[in-house]
A and B are shown apart, each in its own frame.
Chain A
Amino acid sequence: MRFTKLLFIIFIFSFGTRLSAQTWVVPDDQKAITAPFKFTPEMQKQGEQIYLKNCQSCHGLPGKDNWVKLTPPPGDLAKEKAQIQTDGELFYRITAGKVPMPEFRNIIAEDDRWWLIAYIRSFNPKYIQPNPVAKAAFAGRTVTLAMEYSDPMKKIVVTATEQLKDGKTGPAASVEIMLFVKRYFGKMQVGDIKTTNTSGKAFFEFPADLPGNQEGYVDVSATVNDPKNAMKTTPAQANFAIGVPTLKPGLTETRAWWSTRGKAPVWILLTYTLSVIIVWGFILYIVYSILKIRKLSNG
């Protein structure tokens, strides 16, 4: 009996019941951040559009208390719980997210996120916007990529141009470029990272054996390798007829294990149906004979 008790105690301990009540803390320096511009009615209108598209599905309409029941609850953003927070806090929460609240860092541009706050604040008559602190002008490089296929060289040429101090544009040297080709799921990198030369160009050899679509087209894209986010960059996309023309039936076009219901392999359909019919045939027979028992009492 001691043994079962021990088992029980360990059982209880190892399944300790913890409800997921983590708090959502905003770092102090983020709390203090204010919008870089003064909110205008125009911004509120823009913010409303963004809100309807990205937020309404969970938070409902501000002031209407019609948010979706999730755990933890999203809540109505017009209500006090959200409105007593600083702009910096709201901005941080929208930017960083916390499951199930999505992270909007890379989905909604920075200015647009401020417009959202302008919209959310428009439901709070007591709100007075703190003085905007304009952001320091961006000091890094602003690089734009373009791409073409050079037939004589049999290479993909990526050209990087950058904004120069005098407002003109010029070739961007020593920029690290990555080339990708689209595949079934996501992208595959082609070759290594290449650095642009003094005329802003980087050359990529494209493998001869990669499958393309029916006409041999492949979708390629070039991006700047900038892990520290020190530049503002614009990637390039193109499609070239440089793959091997391939005609593959779609994954669900033939009968197969993984295919849809209507495309099940015949032998599976037969085995399944026959087994069900045979076994249930016997079951029905038994039920029928049970009914016969009634009629057979000793007369």
Chain B
Amino acid sequence: MTMDDNKLTFDKITSDLTHHIRINKGFLIWMGFLTISLLICLYAYSLQLSKGLGVAGIRDYVTWGMYLANFVFFVAASLIGMLISAVLGLIGMKWLTPITRIAETIAVAFAAVAGLVIVSDMGRPERLAYVFLYGRPQSPILWDVTVITTYFVLSLLLLFLPLIADMAIIHRKVSTLPSWLKPVYKVLSLNFTDHPEQNKIINRAIRILLILLIPAALSIHTVTSWLFAVTSRAGWDSTIFGPYFVSGAFVAGSAAVIIAMFFFRKNYKLQDYLTDMHFNNMGKVLATVSLVYLYFNINEFLVPGYKLKRADAVHLHELFVGKDAILFWIVQIGGLILPILFMLFRRFRKPLPIMLISIAVLMAAWVKRYLIVVPTQEHPFLPIQHVPQNFVHYSPTLIETLISIAPFILVLIIITLISKFFPVIPLHETAREKGIEHIKFD
């Protein structure tokens, strides 16, 4: 390639990947919609703050309702950053480059919000700091807050490091950037000039992060599963809860990434970068992790079902043929088995079908968390005597539902902001892979 060719390709890549970085009407309408929805949900939360947790359907039997299902779901979805960037990235899968930032954005958004979700279940949220101040090092609760904080910081750094070079390019070359934002990009780009030493530092830091990310991510979801598995209740008392949760998390996260890819590709016109090949490959990833998850599901239900200890029998009965059966089978068949079967065929791994499959998988993933958290609590070993009916059968209230929707809106806001103000696809890295060795900064 000649210098001129180089410049041409580079300019094209830059404009392709950054043309969406501007404040336009669509963006304002979408953010306005999200903000209003969030305010409605926050109003519901203010009711809970002033009236107490009694406004939610949680009672003395089911104390962990939708809020905790939400928490597990958010932690799960955040794990995808580690699978895409660290595991597959370290193996050296080159096709992943345009997807890494999407995965990291999802990881950061969900991990940040997961911490907040747990607060929605607290009657005295102003005492949150007590978890750190008075936490017992023996308690998985303390481990959980520790690893979630750590994972969030690691993911944030991993999102930031590749952005340094991109921001250096943006604040010099992107004319649509609002002028008041320019200095922010300049400061955040840390005087990056594509100096070899600078690249060396960034690459080394990224490598360290990728390696740290694997144990951190495994810990956050394993520890989250231990919050359940270290109690001896039917449905939670399981030795494979860790891997069961982790594999389920990859399913939810891969689905979330595919959905995000689809919308970014369409809205930001990234068809040349997020190609059918990427959807096809992500479909394969989703199919693979779903198969692993199916395997753990079979273990998780067949083994206690074979032994049928008394408490397990009650629990499994409710899931298989009882009160929760409809949800359970929809989730297992519609959210796991059918998607796997579809994804075996190439034509269902095209962008639109795989996106629709991912939506089904993601919704099922949420309901699955609900089915893990709630039914177990409805059959305690030592039932409390003479309690009202609404203790025994949990049903979420409207206020509780609104409060549970808030985190989803927050995640959308965070993802929207990150994707709107930064290239969705790593710019500097893409340029390099297209053979542009050194970027001229004038």
Contact = CB atoms under 8 A, between A and B. Distances in A.
Contact of A258 (B137, B138, B190): B138
A261 B134 contact: yes
A17 interface: yes
A289 B204 contact: yes
B391 to A, nearest CB: 8
Contact of A264 (B137, B326, B395, B396): B137
Interface stretch (A37-45, A76-84, A279-287): A279-287
B314 interface: no
Contacts of B161: 290
A71 B201 contact: no
A107 interface: no
B136 A264 contact: yes
Contacts of B54: 70-71, 100
Interface string B200-218: 0110110011001000100
A1 interface: yes
Contacts of A127: none
Given A11-B367, A19-B398, A293 B52 contact: no
Interface string A9-23: 011001111111010
Contacts of B205: 286, 289-290
Given A3-B360, A69-B52, A286-B208, A260 B201 contact: no
B51 A71 contact: yes
A283 B367 contact: no
B143 interface: yes
A279 B364 contact: no
Interface stretch (B88-96, B149-157, B303-311, B418-426): B149-157
Contact of B138 (A265, A276, A295): A265
Interface stretch (B25-33, B106-114, B191-199): B191-199
Contacts of A259: 138
Contact of B356 (A1, A98, A283): A1
A264 B195 contact: no
A282 B164 CA distance: 19
A269 B142 CA distance: 12
Judged by DSSP, the binding face of B is: helix
B387 to A, nearest CB: 7
Interface in B38-71: 50-52, 54-55, 57
Given A290-B161, A290-B205, A269 B388 contact: no
B202 A99 contact: no
B414 to A, nearest CB: 21
Contact of A7 (B55, B134, B197, B330): B330
A272 interface: yes
Contacts of A14: 326-327
A272 B143 contact: yes
Interface size class of B (residues with CB under 8 A): 35 or more
Given A98-B388, A272-B143, A297 B138 contact: no
Contacts, number: 127
A19 B397 contact: yes
B136 A260 contact: yes
In this complex, the member of B51, B136, B160, B195 whose beta carbon has the largest number of chain A beta carbons within 10 angstroms is B136
A8 interface: yes
Contacts of B359: 4
Contacts of B201: 289-290, 292-293, 296
A268 interface: yes
Given A11-B367, A293-B191, A20 B146 contact: no
Contact of B401 (A15, A264, A276): A15
B192 A293 contact: yes
Contacts of A7: 330, 334, 360, 363-364
B390 A20 contact: yes
Contact of A261 (B52, B137, B194, B441): B137
A99 B392 CA distance: 13
A121 to B, nearest CB: 29
A293 B163 CA distance: 13
Contact of A4 (B50, B195, B360, B391): B360
B360 A69 contact: no
A298 B204 CA distance: 19
B195 A296 contact: yes
A298 B157 CA distance: 24
Contacts of A279: 150, 212, 216
A293 B326 CA distance: 56
Interface of A: 1, 3-4, 7-8, 10-11, 14-20, 22, 69-71, 98-100, 103, 257-261, 264-265, 268-269, 272, 276, 279-280, 282-283, 285-287, 289-290, 292-298
Lowest 5 CB-CB distances: which A-B pairs, in order? Answer: A71-B54, A297-B191, A17-B398, A298-B193, A297-B193
Given A10-B330, A294-B191, 7 more contacts: A14-B327, A15-B396, A19-B398, A69-B52, A103-B386, A264-B138, A290-B190
15 contacts: A14-B326, A17-B395, A19-B397, A98-B388, A261-B134, A261-B137, A264-B136, A265-B138, A268-B138, A282-B212, A283-B154, A286-B208, A293-B192, A297-B195, A298-B441
